[in-house]
Amino acid sequence: MAKSITQEFVKGLWDEIPPFRLVLGLCPVLAVTKSVENGLGMGMAVIFVLVCSNILVSLLRNIIPSKVRIACFIVIIATFVIVVELLMQAYTYPLFLKLGIFIPLIVVNCILLGRAEAFAYKNGVVASIADGFGIGIGFTLSLVSIGALREVFGNGTFFGMSVFGPSYQPFIFMVEAPGAFVCLGLMLSLMNLAGNK
Amino acid sequence: MREIIKMIVVLTVLSSFSGGLLAAIRGGTKDKIEYQQLVFVKGPAIRNILEGCSNDPIVDRFKIKDGDTERSFFVGVFDGKANTVAFEGIGKGFGGDIGLMVGVNIDDDKIIGMGVTTHSETPGIGSKAQTDPKFPNQFKGLAAIEPCKVKPDGGNIDAISGATVTSRGVCGGVTNAADIYKRLKPQIAEKIKAFN
């Protein structure tokens, strides 16, 4: 329990980085990482919802009766997800069109419920904010790196800019669904290789 | 017993707080979202229909109350005269509703263009109503006050091959738009004066 705030933050970036270490929330990871931009947008949305729901859950942790805690978590998470959805529609409409159904699906993303249940419900507000930011940024980094890999090889572009020039034959497999699984698997194994020295 | 009451109270308070917050945010972003949808979903079709107009039809729009619904009309200015409106009609297609935009010149009641905005037709077959310019171009110059039909039904629109239901749906949508136009013409003529 003696972990510092910095440790709570940093653990999300490597030790418990989702979805590589904390293998949760795979649905958006596989589905939206067709490009860097999508991954970044999704990651930002998740950071916002995660930090806000962590704050609220941790503030209310002494009021929420444990028997209905899951229901309360879902209400809190769902509220912030809809907030994100409305804001995205209002300010970044093209991104909203691309992410589509996966924004409302953040509600059922296990990372959010998992962090509320496993961390925010048992810890103070400041630690929960640090945890939310750490895990959220870790998730965004993962989405961006998978997105970058898939976009660079599958489309020959990075953030929509050409990388290899016009002569590059796109490796379409990478932007299709199977490519997502292969890419995630390879990155998972690399992470394990790096971690098991 | 106390525990149950506490659960009910906490859940109720939490839910009503969440409802209030969402209502506030929805109210605050409503206009912005409507504008974004116009720009990105209907915008391309509107610009296509009102091609060559000298104003921005998405900014120059007005609303008319039609029964319970409010309809938006987009004004096109040609040669310095605001004489064209684009507005929505809905037809029943093969996979659900087909939303389309019809542009009508209010001086001679003729359709100047039509474009499908939203549909759930079969990709590659019915979806041609949106992607193949040949089909929508047939509607140009038709009288906006008459019902519109495909050739097998006694009209003069060539159906897309293999997609008769979709073609009928689009014609139904144009007819729907024509009905709206007939019904609201006096109000349209009144409102459009403001843009001259």
Chain B contact for A86 (CB, 8 A cutoff): yes
pLDDT in tens, A162-185: 777 777 777 888 888 888 899 888
Reported as a pLDDT band with limits 50, 70 and 90, residue A1 is very low
Structural domain includes residue A100 = yes
A63, A72, A97 member nearest B40 (Cβ): A97
pLDDT recorded at residue A196: 67
Q: Is A185 on the interface with B (CB under 8 A)?
A: no
Range of the domain at B96: 46-195
pTM of the predicted model as reported, rounded to 2 decimal places: 0.72
Whether residue B35 is contained in a domain is answered as no
- Mean pLDDT (chain A) is 86
Asked whether residue B10 is domain-assigned, the answer is: no
Structure tokens at A89: 């529609």
More confident residue, A142 or B52: A142
Query: Cβ distance A117 to A70 under 8 Å?
Result: yes
Among A141, A151, A139, A193, which Cα is nearest to A176's? A151
**Domain presence at residue B111:** yes
Cβ count within 10 A of residue B115: 21
Instruction: Please report, rounded to a whole number, the percentage of residues in chain B having pLDDT higher than 90.
Output: 10
Q: What is the pLDDT of residues A20-66, one digit of tens each?
A: 777 777 888 888 888 888 889 999 999 999 999 999 999 999 888 88
Q: What is the pLDDT of residues A116-148, one digit of tens each?
A: 888 899 988 999 999 999 999 999 998 998 888
Q: Is residue A9 in some structural domain? A: no
Residue A14 lies in a domain: no
B22/A64 Cβ within 8 A? no
Domain count, chain B: 1
Asked whether the predicted pLDDT for residue B145 surpasses 60, the reply is: yes
3-state secondary structure (DSSP) of residue B101: strand
Contact residues, chain B to chain A, C-beta under 8 Å:
3, 6-7, 10-11, 14-15, 18, 21-22, 25-26, 29, 32-33, 36-37, 39-40
Is the CB of residue A5 less than 8 Å away from at least one CB of chain B?
no
Q: Is residue A17 part of a domain?
A: no
pLDDT of residue B51: 79
Q: Is the CB of residue A82 less than 8 Å away from at least one CB of chain B?
A: yes
Burial of B67 (0-12, 13-18, 19+ CB in 10 A): exposed
Q: How many domains does chain A have?
A: 1
Sort B123 into a burial class: Cβ within 10 Å, 0-12 / 13-18 / 19+: exposed
B59 by Cβ neighbours in 10 Å (0-12 / 13-18 / 19+) ranks as exposed
Residue A109 counted as domain residue: yes
Full 3-state SS string of B7-24? HHHHHHHHHHHHHHHHHH
Is 60 exceeded by the pLDDT of residue A2?
no
Statement: residue A83 has pLDDT above 90 = yes
User: Which candidate, B48, B188, B184, places its Cα nearest to that of B113?
Assistant: B48
**Length of chain A counted residue by residue:** 197
Residue B29 included in any domain: no
Upper half-sphere CA count for residue A76 (Cβ side, 13 Å): 30
CB-closest option in A63, A79, A90 to B32: A90
- How far apart (Å, rounded) are the C-alpha atoms in residues A1 and A172? 48
Average pLDDT over residues B128-136: 83
Position A138 in a domain? yes
- Average pLDDT score over residue span B154-161: 83
Which chain B residues are Cβ-neighbours of A68 within 8 angstroms? 7, 10-11
Residue B113, in any domain of the structure: yes
- Average pLDDT taken over every residue of chain B: 85
Question: What residue numbers bound the domain in which A99 lies?
Answer: 28-192
Q: Which residues of B touch A107 (CB under 8 A)?
A: none
CB contact under 8 A, A76 and B14: yes
A7: in domain = no
Please check whether residue A137 lies inside any domain of the structure. Answer: yes
Q: What mean pLDDT do residues B118-140 have?
A: 83
pLDDT of A197 > 60? The answer is no
Coil, strand or helix: which one is A91? helix
